[in-house]
Amino acid sequence: MEVIPAIDIRGGKCVRLEQGDYERETVFGDDPVKMAVRWAALGATRIHVVDLDGARDGSQANVEVVRRIVQTVDCAVQTGGGIRDVPTLEHTLASGVNRAVIGTAAVKDPQMLRDAVAAAGERLIVSVDAREGLVSLEGWTESTDISALALIDRLQSLGVQRVVYTDIMRDGVKGGPNLAMYERLTASTSIKVLAAGGISSVEDVRQLSEAGVEGAIIGRAIYKGELALAEAINAV
């Protein structure tokens, strides 16, 4: 399993939100590029970069920052936030990003999703963000009555190969990941699953590895020093 540090960008700064709430923001650095260099130096083989402004507003807002991260670090970079059409997806991948993440568009625009699968193949990730098992959209600001499990089944039928599942209520807070959901996902689908939300300890990382997820995306715990990135990487 791959341990993946997260860099969330808002207004050009490296931040973390609690439970997806834009009013509960903590700034961890003015330079996301320096943060990426730090995580790469500690052994990260991949970095997960989210354009929070783009996720909420619908168009990429921190493209230049992401570009500088890609050009500066040697490890792979995957990014999402504000990718709502295929030209933007293709441009993002052409910029040197290893994988691109779409979320809202995968639900609201089925044809765009089909075209994205055809254009990006294995380099496409669909972000499934859920509160109490129901999908949230538009940077987690819009609730739906769509079951996350039903959505993932539909994504698999359309050829999606990889999802990142985020339990929003656990994101940016302690408490551990939703292991029961990850075990259910890996047992019921052939889609590769990346876990995000609530990962706070080496034991969480080990349990996710045992659950069969492909990657664990970690944010708050490594920024606050509660979990050492190198220790998490060595654990798996």
Instruction: Name 38's Cβ contacts closer than 8 Å, sequence gap at least 6.
Output: none
Which residues have CB under 8 Å from 183's CB, separation 6+? 211, 212
Which helix (H) or strand (E) element contains residue 230? Answer: helix 229-235
Three-state DSSP at 187 gives helix
Phi-psi label, residue 197: left if phi above 0, alpha if psi -120 to 50, beta otherwise: left
Active centre residues (catalytic)? 8, 129
* Residue of 92, 74, 76 whose CA lies nearest to 37: 74
- Which residue has tokens 């990889």? 162
Dihedral sign computed on CA atoms, order 152, 46, 33, 176: positive
